[in-house]
Amino acid sequence: MIHIIRRGSARSTISTVLDEVTNAIHGANMQWRAKSYAASVPSHMPKSHKPQKRVSKDDRRAMVESYVNRYRETHAGKFPSVSDAQKQRKQELFRK
C-alpha cells in the first residue's frame, strides 16, 4: 500500500519509525564487526591449571576394557552401550 504523505506530518514520522524498525529486523542497516588481529593484553594472573596430557591409545583401551569387564560382572554378562562406555572413559580421564 503506497501513501502520499506530506513532510512534517505525523504519518511521515510514523512511517520513518516503521522503516527503521523494519530495517533493524531485516538487517538492512546492520553493522558488521571485523575480526581483530591485534595482540591481546597479557594476563597478570598466573595460570593455575596444569596443561592437559594426552592419554595414550593403549591406556584409553585399558580404561574401556576394565570398565566393560566391571560392567559385565555386575550386569549378568551383558555389554554396556557404546555411549555408556564413552561417558565412563571421559569420567575416568577427568579423575586423573
Residue 4 domain-assigned (yes or no)? yes
CA–CA distances in Å: residue 24 to residues 15, 21, 31: 14, 5, 10
pLDDT band of 94, cuts 50, 70, 90: confident
Residue 42 domain-assigned (yes or no)? no
Residue 67 domain-assigned (yes or no)? yes
| pTM metric for this prediction | 0.43
Name the nearest CA neighbour of 54 among 95, 93, 15.
Answer: 93
Residue 7 domain-assigned (yes or no)? yes
Domain residue limits at 62? 57-95
pLDDT of the residue at 58: 92
Per-residue pLDDT of 38-91, as tens digits, reads 667 666 666 666 666 788 889 889 988 999 999 999 999 999 998 988 888 888
Residue 64 domain-assigned (yes or no)? yes
Amino acid at the residue 48:
S
pLDDT of the residue at 92: 77
Residue 68 domain-assigned (yes or no)? yes
Residue 75 domain-assigned (yes or no)? yes
Residue 37 domain-assigned (yes or no)? no
User: How many domains does one find in the chain?
Assistant: 2
